[in-house]
Amino acid sequence: MPAVHSVIDTPIGELTLVAVDGSLTGAYFPAHKRMPDAEAFGPRVDAEFVEAKRQLSEYFACKRTEFDLPLNPKGDAFQQKVWDLLRRIPYGQTRSYGQLARELGDAHLAQAVGNANGRNPISIIVPCHRVVGADGRLVGYAGGLERKRFLLELEEPVEIKTAKLF
């Protein structure tokens, strides 16, 4: 079955969702780094994405902390391992590239983890925005650092948000 897509509005811009056989294969912002040619997205079929739209809406309304959608990101075996680790980073938390590399069994894989993270085709739902530099700095996000900052602030625990007020 060919790919189909839909476009949804989010607080940080339009997000194009792409699916094949009912599983998400992509979620891209405009000017997304390494985004496939739009022709690969197939025809626009909004009815295919009702559940994904609902869950993303709940996420942006701070009513959802995990996604329960069928995913089928395309990548090599190493990328798949990294993307699986990304899905395990809890809402409101971050990890460094080095931490993920150590979880994979080799601290020297930090750069390779960064490359795989940067090739994640399913923004937000596979939360690559939760990966930061070793010193906690915001680095690298295919959708742009301002979007990454927004997503991390959205997920920030209430006690941290409250502490910032005082």
What is the 3-class SS of the chain, one letter each residue? CCCEEEEEEECCEEEEEEEECCEEEEEECCCCCCCCCHHHHCCECHHHHHHHHHHHHHHHCCCCCCCCCCECCCCCHHHHHHHHHHHHCCCCCCEEHHHHHHHCCCHHHHHHHHHHHHCCCECCCCCHHHEECCCCCCCCCCCCHHHHHHHHHHHCCHHHHHHHHC
Residue 128 appears among annotated catalytic residues: yes
One of 128, 131, 142, 152 is an active-site residue; which one? 128
Q: At what angle do helices 110-118 and 77-88 cross, to 10 degrees?
A: 80
Q: Supply the residues annotated as catalytic.
A: 128
